Structure 1
């Protein structure tokens, strides 16, 4: 059976696509200069949320979640650049650690450092 094998892209509107693209490249390392971003292999969660969920702002229809390799260091770098990242203790879970913020246009962005696999996995 034919089926989807991965996310091929994330497309969204922007008031200033070039400036917003520069923000993602500068602060999150999402480099689109080659036309596509080559990312590391790993899990991708695809999960519809209930319309009344408060997990991300109710005036937004989507949120992008980036897997990161060192959440503590990334949050420190963002903070040094004047970019606040919200963290909560309950965002440290068996699946990893999380931080959340909005990009310069208010689109919700989540940062996820997956938990290390248990020994023997």
Structure 2
């Protein structure tokens, strides 16, 4: 069973997300949007299938990364999220919430062994 198939996103806390986004747009050329920047790429196994990786600055007071005390969170792309969560439970991994489904994918949050919050994402389509 495949588990992680790639990085879906990198999220980090900062004092002023809008200014950080503008700085990265101006100085590094990121094509920014209201959520940060989205990088598109093509799957290596299916060269016509598009994938994305999201880059998003969050306000430093966000509680979205809790219970982790870190200023970042990584989102990993996965296949078959339901099955993976079953396996992770058997392996004693802390599952923080129920799987949620949106029009762009399914999500769940876990903790790694050091208490870092990790977001798992199964894209739809």
Match of 1:56 in 2: 65
Of 74, 94, 98, which residue of structure 2 is paired with 1:84? 94
C-alpha contact 2:97 2:108 (8 A) present in aligned 1: yes
**Structure with greater strand share of residues:** 2
Matched, 1:65 2:75: yes
For residues 58-113 of structure 1, give each alpha carbon's deviation from its aligned partner in whole angstroms, at most 9, with x where no partner exists. 62110011000110000000011111312346x31111111111110111111001
TM-score of the aligned structures, taking structure 1 as reference length: 0.57
CA distance in 2, matches of 1:29, 1:115: 15
Q: Segments of 4+ in structure 1 off by > 6 A?
A: none
C-alpha contact 2:104 2:123 (8 A) present in aligned 1: yes
Highest relative contact order (Cα 8 Å, sep 6+), 1 or 2? 2
**Structure 2 unpaired stretches of 5+:** 6-41, 44-50
Count residues in correspondence. Answer: 80
